[in-house]
Amino acid sequence: MRHSGVWILAEQQGGRVQRISHELLTRGRALADKRGCELAAVIFGNRIDAADLSELIDRGADRVIAMESPRLEHFLVEPYAACLLKLLADRRPEIVIAGATTTGRTLMPYVAILAHAGLTADCTELDIEAGTGNLLQTRPAIGGNILATIKTPRHRPQMATVRPRSTRPADRAPGRKGQIERLAAPADLPPSRVRRVDFVPSADEHGLQDADAVVAVGRGIKKADNLPVARKLADALGAALGATRDVVDRGWLSYPHQIGLSGKTVTPRLYVALGVSGSIQHLAGMQTAETIVAVNTDPDAQIFHVADFGIVGSLFDVAPALTAKLRAAQGKPGGEESK
């Protein structure tokens, strides 16, 4: 029996399907269409919401395979791996992709070793190689200085994880046809060596990943004392404040602000880059923003290659001018009328 089909590993919490599942459907649908094969969403949990499973079909899955048991209510790697390995052996998919979440980053390498499969982590792009059908898995390498494309031509399934928020959720098409299978987990699930004690939500107050607008600062801000220039613009836009790795490494902002391969991935409607050069490592975390505005004194800065609007100039001139214009439009103190 040959391998066929593209799978995405959907995730749930408290029985509700999570956003990463819909993002993966965008990736999976494109791959399945190129391969001319079925796209399946595989999910593990307990009493998963039926409407949420139907929504996976609406958003592009041809089939949903939900394996359920009280022991799968919360993610633990051994029982989840046993379920996924059984499905892989029984149904032999060609490609399996998951989010680079706590679940995906833990489960996928564990399963890849046991299934003798290849795995590429933290991919920024996925494609199908013409002629061979191999999965092309692109990710930053060598400290984010290059983009490497990896393939696993001799092992199946081909497995990859992608960063959350690196693509937009698939659109809904209500009434789309597909099949939902609700399966009982195997009775002989192995015990877990890890015990779930409690869950404490993140206290991250910056809300970068959920923000509709982000103002990000790079090394061009020069020193921490200059951050109020960016903060004022962020406040005028109702935006979250982000930063490049350079800024965080220098201690000017804390790690929760960091955007890029080693930080957060964001997909806001508006991304304003102040003094950001645009390294590959940083671009991997923000290039899917809907509208990108870049301000940099270097006309050859890499950030301008992805920007929708580029301003060659000093952020210390441009950011205050933008802030004043916004405040004037909002009728707030500090606008042009107060000058």
Phi first, then psi: what are they for 40, rounded to 5°?
Answer: -120, 140
The Cα 36–Cα 325 span in angstroms is: 51
pLDDT exceeds cutoff 70 at 155: yes
In terms of DSSP bridges, do strands 291-296 and 240-243 run parallel, antiparallel, or are they unpaired?
unpaired
Averaged pLDDT, 307-329 = 93
CATH class of 6-184: alpha beta
**Which band of pLDDT confidence, cut at 50, 70 and 90, is reported for residue 337?**
very low
pLDDT tens digits along 204-220: 555 787 788 999 999 99
Res 144: pLDDT: 60
- Maximum average pLDDT range among 40-44, 118-122, 150-154, 204-208: 40-44
Res 190: pLDDT: 85
By residue count, the chain amounts to 339
The Cα 261–Cα 115 span in angstroms is: 27
Query: Which pTM value belongs to this model?
Result: 0.76
Q: Which two tokens stand for residue 160?
A: 């990859």
In terms of DSSP bridges, do strands 6-9 and 12-13 run parallel, antiparallel, or are they unpaired?
unpaired
The structural domains of the chain, with segments of one domain joined by +, span 6-184, 208-338
Name the architecture of domain 208-338: 3-Layer(aba) Sandwich (3.40)
DSSP 280: H
pLDDT exceeds cutoff 90 at 106: yes
Res 338: pLDDT: 43
Question: Is 208-338 the same fold as 6-184?
Answer: yes
pLDDT exceeds cutoff 50 at 66: yes
pLDDT exceeds cutoff 90 at 18: yes
Q: Do 110 and 81 touch, CB atoms closer than 8 A?
A: yes
Res 167: pLDDT: 85
